[in-house]
Amino acid sequence: MVHQTMPSRITSASNASSKITAMKSRLLRLVVCALIVGSIAACSTRPAPPPASAPSASTVPPAGPLPAAPAPGSGKSRWVPVSWSELPGFEGDALHEAWNAWLRSCERPPAAFAALCGDVRRLAIATEAEQRAWMVERLQPYRIEAQDGGSEGLLTGYFEPFLQASRLPGNGFDVPLFRPPAGLGTRRPWYTRQQIDTLPEARAQLAGRAIAWVSDPVAAMVLHIQGSGRLLVREPDGSTRMVRLAFAGTNDQPYKSVGRWLLDQGLVRDATWPGITAWTQANPQRVQEMLWSNPRYVFFREEPLDALDASFGPRGAQGVPLTPGRSIAVDRASIPYGTPVWLASSGPTVQLSRLVLAQDTGSAIVGAVRADFFTGWGEQAGDIAGRLKQGLRLWALWPK
């Protein structure tokens, strides 16, 4: 999944988890109706046998000699070995929530973690105390810093939009979502967003390429920014079904933030997505101008969305489905995909201390201490992601 971040609310770590759980519950009920299935599979991966000899629960051990930091893959970050006691909130995290994301990473594990995946699967039904003790025994935490020694960074959020759509244009559904045009690879960069909307030659190359049509051009822009989304599509026969739109390419034009454009024009002071939405509602005559300020255009491919898929997000850059509240996008030059990471962030919108997995990336996610937090799907997840922009500290958990 490739996405750009929007300026970004969560009130607490527990509230974040409960909101995400509520979103999943509501959407699963919708999927039941849309897909006409009898039941929804649980979001956890298939049961695993109990650990043969799970380590006993223990508190964080006293500090001792620390190993040298492993090479994270580039010179973009500096990894400093630390004791487990440095990780804020380590004793209180609901690790079973993160284990779903870790099981997903084990579907395509990085080489450094492949040998641990058997234990990860066996511990899927272990107690949190056993999971925590195993982590202390097998992993070493490293504080992630920039090369200048700075350990403070930026946390933002992203989500999977959920839109009503139609297979046919009309009745207010007049904003197309396109598959890549046949000639996309032969003309680089391809037409800008404004040119796609206005030039006959660009539209001709997109004839017959619409996957579906939505009613709100701003919602379509959000879908482009996030890089994937869910559609409840009305078919020509009147039936509806849920599908996922996955990222399939861009026009190779630069991404420009519409929030930055509004700030530069002096049109808003609040460039969070709720602030942008308020401006568009008050200034409908200028919405198209705002949209054209971002020349990048995203093309999609349609994927089926079965009951189990509905419990997770789209596939991230690691190639595994994202887990709401437990997957992050990172700069892979700083943190390799599949790395378990301890994340701590405090600010006006969230208080988080939790285990997450580095499973995705984004064009705006650049730097050593930088992460985008996957909040889930739908309107509530979008509200959280749209407000989340605050300080961040990260610790990579690497095999001993």
Residue 2 located in a structural domain:
no
- Domain shared by 145 and 165, yes or no: no
- Domain shared by 363 and 230, yes or no: no
Q: Which domain holds residue 166?
A: 160-304
* Residues in CB range of 78: below 8 A, 6 or more apart: 69, 144, 145, 146, 147, 149, 368
Query: Looking at the predicted structure, is the pLDDT value of residue 52 above 90?
Result: no
The CA-atom distances, in angstroms, between 63 and each of 57, 83, 219, 239 are 18, 6, 51, 62
CATH code assigned at 357: 2.40.40.10
pLDDT at position 307: 62
Residue 48 located in a structural domain:
no
Minimum mean pLDDT range among 134-143, 158-167, 383-392: 383-392
pLDDT at position 4: 63
Q: Give me the mean pLDDT over the 38-65 stretch.
A: 37
Cis peptide preceding 348, ω within 30 of 0: no
- Domain shared by 223 and 236, yes or no: yes
Is residue 219 helix, strand or coil?
helix
- Domain shared by 214 and 268, yes or no: yes
- Domain shared by 165 and 293, yes or no: yes
Residue 63 located in a structural domain:
no
CATH code assigned at 166: 2.40.240.50
- Domain shared by 181 and 284, yes or no: yes
Residue 1 located in a structural domain:
no
Residue 179 located in a structural domain:
yes
Cα–Cα nearest to 34, from 223, 235, 221, 294: 235
- 31-40, Cβ contacts within 8 angstroms, sequence gap of 24 or more: 31/242, 31/305, 31/307, 31/310, 34/232, 34/240, 34/241, 34/242, 35/241, 35/242, 35/305, 35/306, 35/307, 37/307, 39/307, 40/307, 40/310, 40/311
Is residue 272 very low, low, confident or very high in pLDDT (cuts 50, 70, 90)? confident
Q: Give me the mean pLDDT over the 13-39 stretch.
A: 36
Residue ending a domain, among 304, 330, 363, is 304
- Domain shared by 22 and 121, yes or no: yes
pLDDT at position 72: 65
Residue 145 located in a structural domain:
yes
On whether the CB atoms of residues 141 and 396 are closer than 8 A, the answer is yes
Residue 19 or residue 164, greater confidence: 164
Is residue 2 very low, low, confident or very high in pLDDT (cuts 50, 70, 90)? low
pLDDT digits (tens, 9 = 90+) for 203-253: 999 999 999 999 999 999 999 998 899 999 999 999 999 999 999 999 999
pLDDT at position 54: 34
- Domain shared by 207 and 264, yes or no: yes
Number of domains forming the structure of the chain: 2
Partnered with residue 212 across adjacent β-strands are: 177
Q: What is the CA radius of gyration of the chain?
A: 22
Q: Give me the mean pLDDT over the 37-55 stretch.
A: 31
Residue ending a domain, among 260, 281, 304, is 304
pLDDT at position 260: 94
The structure tokens listed for 41 are 């599979």
On whether the CB atoms of residues 51 and 122 are closer than 8 A, the answer is yes
- Domain shared by 149 and 275, yes or no: no
Query: Looking at the predicted structure, is the pLDDT value of residue 369 above 60?
Result: yes
Q: Whose structure tokens read 């509230």? A: 15
pLDDT at position 363: 80
- Give the span between the Cα atoms of 134 and 141, in whole angstroms: 13
- Domain shared by 260 and 296, yes or no: yes
Residue 199 located in a structural domain:
yes
- Domain shared by 19 and 106, yes or no: yes
Is residue 128 very low, low, confident or very high in pLDDT (cuts 50, 70, 90)? very high
- Give the span between the Cα atoms of 50 and 47, in whole angstroms: 9
Q: Give me the mean pLDDT over the 98-123 stretch.
A: 96
Residue 39 located in a structural domain:
no
Residue ending a domain, among 304, 324, 339, is 304
Minimum mean pLDDT range among 64-73, 125-134, 257-266, 340-349: 64-73
Longest dimension (CA), the chain: 69
Work out the angle at residue 253's Cα, subtended by the Cα atoms of residues 77 and 373, and round it to the nearest 5 degrees.
40
Alpha helices, H only, the chain: 13-35, 95-105, 111-114, 117-122, 128-138, 193-198, 200-205, 217-226, 258-264, 273-282, 287-292, 378-387
Average pLDDT of the residues of the chain: 84
- Domain shared by 127 and 193, yes or no: no
